[in-house]
Structure 1
Amino acid sequence: MTQQKASNIRWFVFGIIFLLGVVNLIDRISLSIAMPTIAQEFDLSPELQGVILSSFFWAYALLQIPGGLLIDKYGPRKMITGSTVLWGIFQAVAALSTGGLSLLLTRFMLGASEAPLFPSGAKLNATWLSPQERGRGAVIMDCGGPLGAALGGIIIAYMIASIGSWRIVFAIAGIATILLGFVSWKFLRDTPHEHQSVNAEELKLIDATHSKDQISLDVSSSSTKIGFDYFSLISILFGRAAWAMMFFGLLTWGPSYLAQARGFDIKGIGNATFIIFLCGTLGSLCGGFISDNLVKKGISQRFALKSVLTISGISTLIAFSLLPSMNDPIVAIATLSVAAFFLMWGSLYWSFPALLAPKDKVGTVGGIMNMAGSIGGIVVPILVGVILGQSQNYDNVLLFFSGCSVIYILGTLSIKLSKQDK
């Protein structure tokens, strides 16, 4: 009798998470793309623009740990569905903004609504994937972000240029997101055992690897409340925050940099943003597959992850350091694309919650890690606005990003993934 082939529903589930990540970032970047237009309409200073761009992350950071606890209690399916519907509502409501304050409030609520998405994805990574597949799971989940930024950059820019109204574009984006929330409820499940399309062979594959994973965890885990040592947690937080300041710096201020420092119009901004973040998407996938292939060849997961992430940090450091000396806008876009490609290898950080934490703490640890990234998201738009308000020079901003890449490297190298790291 021929053995039944294992189904691949786990990858379908992560395809849904990927799609949500794409839409998530389309909605986020819509304000950055529209900001040059909105700033003129509402007469917003650079400092106030920075505060508005930052406001998304205030609630996003504040709700990461509570969101992680709720994910561990109620499961990712409910949290993802509720999150998607709510952020679609507030994306649409932003179209009714009458000034800087009302725009700030809608962004704040958008951040609150989006908070559970990526920690929920980390939880699904732990319950649906084997340790040998988690690198790919992490980057499939996270690469939706740069792809959403790429698509959002060109789609939002061209829609605003064609329709002539950023308000209508925001409303359309919000309604589409609400519909996607119902898709999430229909197709996502908290565990493989709850999904009727998962066959016995796929369940056997997942359960067997999880059993081995749990044995390893019981032997190696420390006695801390999070299931591993606090030094590693602090290292993860600093590394993730530094990475986030670079990524969200590009996301929030990148379009204004292209307009003011490189002279691009709205369509040029959309085209350049598409190229930069598309390269980031390819980089995210590349990093995950390189890491998993190294593990398959017998290299320890510890060494594979740290090697790939360290190369990521060094490459972004070089790119940001070279950008101020580049006068040709096309060369600058190419360099930013290279920076985004290697920066998005940092998607592998989403491997750490599933790799280091017990299964009942993965959502919490993912929330803590994402809170650190969100704090970076809070700080960087305001800080860049202050730097520009004081110096009117984007070279100083690029120098700041170079410093962030150094912290990203040091944080990554300090994470202990086994007792041998002590």
Structure 2
Amino acid sequence: MTTNEMTKKSRNLILALLFLGWSLGNLDRYIMNYAVVSITGDLNLDASSTGIILSAFFLGYAIMQIPGGWLADKFGAKKILLFSVIMWSIFTGLTALAWSLVAMIIIRFLFGIGEGGFQPSSSKIIATIFPREERGRAMSIMLSSGGIVSLIVPLLAAYLLGTIGWRTMFVVIGAIGAVIAFLYWKYIKLPQDEAVDNNNNENASTKINFKELLKTPLMWNLIIAYFCIYAVNWGLVSWIPTYLQKNRGLDLMSIGWAQTIPAIATIIGIYGSGYIIDKLPRGMDKILGSISCGVIGILLYLMFTAKSVTMFIGYQTVVTLFLAFVITMLPAIVLKKLPSSITGSAMGIANTGGQLAGFVTPMAIGFMVDAFNGSFDAAFWMLIGFAVICIISLLTLNDQKGSLLNS
């Protein structure tokens, strides 16, 4: 079977399975932001220690992005996909055994290593089986899993943490991962030419090595943009439950209901962004992305100066719409502008920036909150600064030059 012989039904089945895996990965990451409230109580941790736990996963995840993408290009995306799901399932389950801060940090770091190859390998599969004009929508479906999970997690976490506790909860999530790994092994069938990087007849004669890819200015703009937008995203996602509890006086169940509104906006924003991006003329995506980052910066200021929880949630909801557009646009640039033969490596390099932000930002916010006696104001100003840097990175992004972009 070659790429061109794949039926729409086969593509959609693979896309559905990938969506399932992305959903589980997002479930673990999002639910940890709620579980950490109970974990810090059990392990007697302060805000700085909490930030380190939240960041440990992202350090491992970031370290594995580039190797994971390179391995997917060299040995096949399905093999790396299976390895990732199996590894993260094991360490998700082992999270339940953590008995101290050090043990939790090590387990979450190794969990990140395990999951690190998933996004570049799954992105390569999308580039392998879908034509260019459908890749933005396919990626938006993958990314929408984050919005759907963020809609479910607040209430699910409140229920599970109040019934079975955080340790049993992570065992259950790990078991679900094992089931998904089996489904991948049995049902994901890729074209034969995926292994030789000659799919869709795109740049079959183009041979691009890893060093050339790193020298491409486009990649460095993407790394910076990924870092900045994900710093905003993970800064909000990881600390808003704690912020709303400690600074706005909400309990976990109230936080869960309040966060369903931004979650619905995220789903709508990501799905809509995928369709918009596929129809935009060349160069317009980065302009709209820059404008979105400007709006995000303004709304972040309005969030932390909001006089009521209702206003805070309202501004947060609008922020998620603009975040959704930028977060969908960046991987779409990789899938559309670069040859699919190097999609795994390119996605791994670009996403390293985003995952380093996931490592740095929660930890930095934890230290800032301790340093300013529980105030989150400095943390919000830091996120606003990242939004400004993202604007500069997108405006200077040049996709008109270089052999890598002439596909």
Counterparts of 1:337-416 in structure 2 under 5 Å?
A: 337-345=317-325, 346-391=327-372, 392-416=374-398
Q: Go from structure 1 to structure 2 and tell me whether the alpha carbon gap of 1:269 and 1:374 turns closer, same or farther (over 3 Å shift).
A: same
Confirm or deny: 8 A CA contact 1:287 1:308 kept in the other structure.
Answer: no
Number of the residue aligned with 1:238: 224
* In 2: Cα distance, 1:381 partner to 1:7 partner: 41
1:179-236 deviation line (CA, Å, top 9, x unaligned): 1111122222333878xxxxxxxxxxx97xx33x538x96xx9998445862211111
Q: Go from structure 1 to structure 2 and tell me whether the alpha carbon gap of 1:192 and 1:329 turns closer, same or farther (over 3 Å shift).
A: farther
Q: Which moved more, 1:147-156 or 1:46-55?
A: 147-156
Q: CA deviation at 1:121?
A: 2.1
Unpaired runs of at least 5, structure 2: none
Q: CA deviation at 1:6?
A: 5.8
Confirm or deny: 8 A CA contact 2:290 2:395 kept in the other structure.
Answer: yes
* In 1: Cα distance, 2:77 partner to 2:244 partner: 38
Q: Go from structure 1 to structure 2 and tell me whether the alpha carbon gap of 1:334 and 1:162 turns closer, same or farther (over 3 Å shift).
A: farther
Q: Go from structure 1 to structure 2 and tell me whether the alpha carbon gap of 1:250 and 1:187 turns closer, same or farther (over 3 Å shift).
A: farther
Matched positions, count: 394
1:48-90 deviation line (CA, Å, top 9, x unaligned): 1111111101111111111111111221212112211221121
AA partner of residue 188 (structure 1) = I
Q: Which moved more, 1:369-378 or 1:178-187?
A: 178-187
* In 1: Cα distance, 2:370 partner to 2:51 partner: 10
Q: CA deviation at 1:293?
A: 3.0
1:302-357 deviation line (CA, Å, top 9, x unaligned): 32x21332233122112102112212112211211211121011222112322333
* In 2: Cα distance, 1:233 partner to 1:382 partner: 26
1:222-258 deviation line (CA, Å, top 9, x unaligned): 9984458622111111000001111111222121112
Q: Go from structure 1 to structure 2 and tell me whether the alpha carbon gap of 1:273 and 1:81 turns closer, same or farther (over 3 Å shift).
A: farther
SS at match of 1:190: coil
Number of the residue aligned with 2:187: 187
Counterparts of 1:174-253 in structure 2 under 5 Å?
A: 174-191=174-191, 210-211=200-201, 213-214=202-203, 225-226=211-212, 230-253=216-239
Q: Go from structure 1 to structure 2 and tell me whether the alpha carbon gap of 1:176 and 1:239 turns closer, same or farther (over 3 Å shift).
A: same
* In 2: Cα distance, 1:243 partner to 1:414 partner: 16
Confirm or deny: 8 A CA contact 1:52 1:104 kept in the other structure.
Answer: yes
The two structures have a TM-score, normalised by structure 1, of: 0.87
1:154-194 deviation line (CA, Å, top 9, x unaligned): 2122211233x111112111111221111122222333878
* In 1: Cα distance, 2:81 partner to 2:256 partner: 29
The equivalent position to 1:274 in structure 2, one of 247, 256, 260, is 260
Confirm or deny: 8 A CA contact 1:21 1:148 kept in the other structure.
Answer: no
* In 2: Cα distance, 1:83 partner to 1:151 partner: 24
Aligned pair 1:318/2:298, yes or no? Answer: yes
Number of the residue aligned with 1:202: none
* In 2: Cα distance, 1:84 partner to 1:274 partner: 27
* In 1: Cα distance, 2:264 partner to 2:118 partner: 21
SS at match of 1:63: helix
Q: Go from structure 1 to structure 2 and tell me whether the alpha carbon gap of 1:191 and 1:327 turns closer, same or farther (over 3 Å shift).
A: farther
* In 1: Cα distance, 2:235 partner to 2:49 partner: 16
Q: CA deviation at 1:133?
A: 1.0
AA partner of residue 94 (structure 1) = T
Q: CA deviation at 1:271?
A: 2.1
Q: CA deviation at 1:277?
A: 2.7
AA partner of residue 173 (structure 1) = I
AA partner of residue 184 (structure 1) = Y
AA partner of residue 412 (structure 1) = L
How well do the aligned residues superpose, as a CA RMSD in angstroms? 2.5
AA partner of residue 388 (structure 2) = V
1:358-379 deviation line (CA, Å, top 9, x unaligned): 3332111111111111111111
Number of the residue aligned with 2:13: 12
Number of the residue aligned with 1:258: 244
* In 1: Cα distance, 2:263 partner to 2:168 partner: 24
* In 2: Cα distance, 1:118 partner to 1:25 partner: 11
Confirm or deny: 8 A CA contact 2:213 2:346 kept in the other structure.
Answer: no
Number of the residue aligned with 2:157: 156
SS at match of 1:419: coil
Number of the residue aligned with 1:170: 170
Number of the residue aligned with 2:307: 327
Q: CA deviation at 1:275?
A: 2.8
Q: Which moved more, 1:29-38 or 1:375-384?
A: 29-38
The two structures have a TM-score, normalised by structure 2, of: 0.90
Q: Go from structure 1 to structure 2 and tell me whether the alpha carbon gap of 1:223 and 1:370 turns closer, same or farther (over 3 Å shift).
A: closer
SS at match of 1:404: helix
Confirm or deny: 8 A CA contact 1:147 1:278 kept in the other structure.
Answer: yes
Unpaired runs of at least 5, structure 1: 195-205
